[in-house]
Amino acid sequence: MLRERRTRLRLSQLELSLRAGTTQRHLSFIESGRSVPGRDMVIRLGESLGLPLRERNELLLKAGYAPAYPHSPLDGSALAPVRDALNHVLAAHLPYPAIIIDRYGDLVAANAARQVLFDGCAPGLLASPANSFRIALHPEGMAPRIVNFAEWARHILNAISAELASNPDERLAALLDELTQYVPSARPRSGHLGFAVPLQLRSSRGDLRLMTTIMSFATAVDVTLAELKLEAFLPADAHTASVLLSQHSPAG
């Protein structure tokens, strides 16, 4: 498992050994099974490889040790302060939409402005457990309202593909296969600026243009927390800002 992760990241034994504070010889012995690493060494190797906490636990299990990183339920008492913090961020982002998703894109929470995004989506897509990627790309989801659907869809697919390249996962791969079926094959049009473009969304008050930011817990030591992402949408023009402000103003 260690050799597979190292080669996947295109690291030589020498490079990894330097990162982990050991010798290339020792690392070679570990990979060949000639040396049994201590628990601290396994933790250092997982950290040096930049593995997600979930995979670091798997590495420890393969080496015969108990997982080092807890995987707490989000609704449990251990993560109560996290829930409070996330709810505060969601509320503070109003009148602009913001959602919280896990590594698979499953919707964990959203603020009241989510209706700007989900208006007109089939109820079945929004039923728990709702998946934000599926909601965005499914023909009965946001897709008919996304003006720049081809660019936005590729933005999502490329992000998932990049995640799979660094952290393979069967469930995420199956989701990518499903989502790809919703997206027509098309060459970038003339003047294409890449997939990091604002989301252009049709609404009853005209087209809205939204920029996105992704936030995560960079120093998390809990698997659940490390895999959460908060996607916050911001107006990309004055018209969009005006529409969002009016929809969620105290008078409204």
Q: Residues 206-235: pLDDT tens digits?
A: 999 999 988 888 778 899 999 999 999 999
Q: Is residue 71 part of a domain?
A: no
Contacts of 189 (CB under 8 A, 6+ apart): none
Q: Is residue 106 part of a domain?
A: yes
- Same domain flag for 116 and 200: yes
Q: Is residue 67 part of a domain?
A: no
Is residue 143 within 8 A of residue 182, CB to CB? The reply is: yes
CATH number of domain containing 203: 3.30.450.180
What's the pLDDT score for residue 252? Answer: 45
Quick one: which of 96, 62, 50, 25 has its CA closest to 246? 96
Q: Is residue 70 part of a domain?
A: no
- Same domain flag for 225 and 167: yes
What's the pLDDT score for residue 28? Answer: 95
What's the pLDDT score for residue 123? Answer: 95
- Same domain flag for 107 and 43: no
Place of tokens 């809205």: 208
- Same domain flag for 86 and 58: no
| Average pLDDT in the chain | 90
The first and second tokens of residue 185, run together, are 């094959």
Domain count, the chain: 2
Ranking 17-31, 34-48, 117-131, 183-197 by mean pLDDT, the lowest is: 183-197
SS3 of 115, please? helix
2 against 166, higher pLDDT: 2
Q: What is the pLDDT of residues 141-170, one digit of tens each?
A: 999 999 999 889 988 999 999 888 878 889
- What percent of the chain has a predicted confidence (pLDDT) above 70? 94
Is residue 174 within 8 A of residue 152, CB to CB? The reply is: no
- Same domain flag for 22 and 145: no
- Same domain flag for 157 and 230: yes
- Is residue 190 very low, low, confident or very high in pLDDT (cuts 50, 70, 90)? low
Q: What is the mean pLDDT of residues 22-43?
A: 94
- Same domain flag for 226 and 127: yes
- Domain hosting 84: range is 77-247
What's the pLDDT score for residue 165? Answer: 83
Quick one: which of 106, 112, 109, 111 has its CA closest to 125? 106
The C-alpha atoms of residue 126 and residue 139 are separated, in whole angstroms, by 13
**pTM exceeds 0.85:** no
Residue 196 has pLDDT above 60, yes or no: no
* Residue where a domain terminates, one of 39, 62, 85: 62
- Same domain flag for 19 and 49: yes
- Same domain flag for 38 and 93: no
- Same domain flag for 121 and 227: yes
- Same domain flag for 86 and 182: yes
CATH number of domain containing 42: 1.10.260.40
Place of tokens 């003006």: 147
Q: Is residue 22 part of a domain?
A: yes
Q: Is residue 204 part of a domain?
A: yes
- Is residue 242 very low, low, confident or very high in pLDDT (cuts 50, 70, 90)? very high
The first and second tokens of residue 48, run together, are 């040096």
* Residue where a domain terminates, one of 18, 39, 62: 62
Q: How many CB atoms lie within 10 A of CB 207?
A: 15
- What percent of the chain has a predicted confidence (pLDDT) above 90? 75
- Same domain flag for 113 and 178: yes
